[in-house]
Amino acid sequence: MRLSATQIHAIKTEAHAVLGEGAQVSLFGSRVDDTRRGGDIDLYITGTSLSMDAQLDAKLDLLIKLKQALGEQRIDIVYVSSSRAGTLAYSTYGGAKCVAALG
């Protein structure tokens, strides 16, 4: 996984601050592949139930906090409420399963 321990800690801390301790954060996409270079940070978050309006507010709040903590990086957030968890179990990249749980 191409994230430092400091970056992982910041992502988990900010996600839990915004979405609560029940939030489960996973990294997917090219950053999971240690042989690749570059790429944005793709986060898949489950574990909490929010209304559509609250989801949007939480995603924007989290994105702002992550950019403040990690610096200017491309960050994509896929949020799935706990009632729909499992809808996106993993992402495929180059034909292989590429998911790493962060917390």
Name 55's Cβ contacts closer than 8 Å, sequence gap at least 6: 79, 81
Tracing tokens 């979405």 back to the chain, one arrives at 19
Instruction: Give the confidence band of 14 by pLDDT, cuts at 50, 70, 90.
Output: very high
From residue 28, alpha-carbon distances to 41, 90, 92 in Å are 8, 7, 8
Position 36 scores a pLDDT of 79
Considering its fold, how many domains does the chain have in total?
Answer: 1
pLDDT 10s digits, 44-94: 888 777 788 888 899 999 999 999 999 988 999 888 776 555 544 444 444
Position 102 scores a pLDDT of 60
Range of the domain at 65: 5-89
46 assigned to some structural domain = yes
Q: Where are the alpha helices (DSSP H) in 1-103?
A: 5-19, 52-70
pLDDT 10s digits, 23-43: 888 888 878 877 777 778 988
96 assigned to some structural domain = no
Question: For residue 61, what is the domain's CATH number?
Answer: 3.30.460.10
102 assigned to some structural domain = no
For the sheet containing 41-46, what is the strand order? 75-79, 41-46, 24-28, 99-101
28 assigned to some structural domain = yes
18 assigned to some structural domain = yes
23 assigned to some structural domain = yes
